[in-house]
Amino acid sequence: MKTIVFCLIDTAIPAIFFDRADNTTLFRTLKTFLKYKLIHTIEDGTGLIKYALCQEGCTCSPEDLHSHFHCTQCKQTFCLTDTVVPVVSLPKNFHLQEINLVLKGICDTCS
């Protein structure tokens, strides 16, 4: 399964792809998709907000976390759903909410 990843670069994107939608509609839709765990955000260090489709059965809990790979040449980010995120032991009264593991390098297309 190929993961679809897209990003919001600036306010011109809605005008290019959605001739009848504005930013508010687009962001409201993304918030709804996030709420119902259809997509997840990716923080890959580029400063852009990226989104990817969640796999079936994903609850976006720590057990569903996976790594991401950011290609430094083509600037694409890929979900690595088969890469296990290491279990981290936290001190007493610390509660894990999120892990962000981004690997950076050159993807198979660019290498």
User: Per-residue pLDDT for the chain (111 aa), expressed as one digit of tens each?
Assistant: 344 445 544 444 555 555 666 778 878 888 898 888 888 787 777 777 788 777 777 766 655 677 889 899 998 888 887 887 787 899 999 988 777 788 899 999 999
Claim: this prediction has a pTM higher than 0.85? no
Residue with tokens 């399964």: 1
Q: What is the chain's length?
A: 111
Q: How far apart are the first and last CA of the chain?
A: 21
What is the pLDDT, as a whole number, of residue 56? 76
Spatial CA neighbour of 3 closest among 35, 44, 51: 51
HSE of 99, CA atoms in CB hemisphere, 13 A:
19
Task: Say how many C-beta atoms besides its own lie within 10 A of residue 81's C-beta.
Answer: 17
What is the pLDDT, as a whole number, of residue 21? 65
